[in-house]
């Protein structure tokens, strides 16, 4: 794995709007949930411009279509290893399916298609994102969205990495990125 830290894409890279999401309650955050869009094909290697447009489309659907305060996810990670700031780590998630799950877990959107395998760069960036929550809140778990509600999310490829005993774990994130503060 590269020693280079992932590129953090600011919210301003994909939208001109401010987040209206409520602040996370530090005492309640204990984990992070992994999500995926459930899209056919390959989306993780789209250009940055296409990724930005995709994220803005999700935000519009979540706010205008669903009536939510903002895009539901806190961050997104693409196959190039970029970490896109959505609501941000300091905000409460809106993606986990229940109020309790949104209060207790942040939400990372994996920008992968249904059967798209996460790249090494994506895995590295997910671990970095987990450390952002861990450094701030001391999280203890990385879970699939399906832990909270009945869904196929985050898809079979990501689920395999959640179940392998090593890849998407807080301990692995701490070992990989010990200097994240």
Tokens matching residue 132: 């952002």
Q: What pLDDT was estimated at residue 44?
A: 78
Is residue 2 situated within a structural domain? Answer: no
Is residue 15 situated within a structural domain? Answer: yes
Tell me how far apart the alpha carbons of residues 58 and 75 are, in angstroms, rounded to a whole number: 12
Residue 39: give the domain boundaries: 8-173
Is residue 180 situated within a structural domain? Answer: no
pTM: 0.96
Task: Name beta bridge partners: 107.
Answer: 33
Domain count, the chain: 1
* Contact partners, residue 166, CB within 8 Å, separation at least 6: 172
Average pLDDT over residues 121-147: 96
Q: What's the whole-number average pLDDT of the chain?
A: 95
Average pLDDT over residues 153-159: 94
Q: How many residues does the chain have?
A: 181
Residue 69 sits in a domain of what CATH number? 3.40.80.10
Is residue 50 situated within a structural domain? Answer: yes
- pLDDT, tens digit, for every residue of 7-18? 999 999 999 999
Is residue 53 situated within a structural domain? Answer: yes
Is residue 181 situated within a structural domain? Answer: no
Tokens matching residue 100: 């309790």
């Amino acid at each position: 794995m590269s020693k280079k830290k992932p590129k953090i894409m600011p919210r301003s890279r994909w939208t001109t709007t401010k987040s209206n999401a409520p602040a996370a309650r530090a005492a309640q955050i204990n984990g992070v949930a992994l999500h995926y869009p459930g899209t056919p094909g390959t989306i993780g290697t789209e250009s940055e411009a296409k990724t930005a447009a995709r994220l803005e489309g999700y935000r519009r659907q979540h706010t205008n279509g669903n009536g939510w305060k903002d895009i539901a996810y806190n961050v997104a990670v693409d196959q190039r290893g970029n970490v896109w700031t959505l609501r941000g780590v300091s905000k409460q998630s809106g993606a986990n399916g229940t109020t309790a799950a949104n209060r207790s877990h942040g939400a990372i959107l994996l920008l992968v298609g249904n059967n798209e395998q996460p790249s090494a760069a994506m895995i590295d960036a997910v671990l970095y994102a987990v450390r952002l929550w861990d450094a701030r809140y001391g999280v203890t778990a990385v879970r699939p969205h399906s832990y909270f509600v009945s869904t196929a999310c985050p898809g079979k490829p990501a689920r395999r990495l959640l179940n392998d005993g090593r890849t998407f774990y807080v301990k692995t994130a701490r070992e990989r990125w010990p200097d994240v503060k």
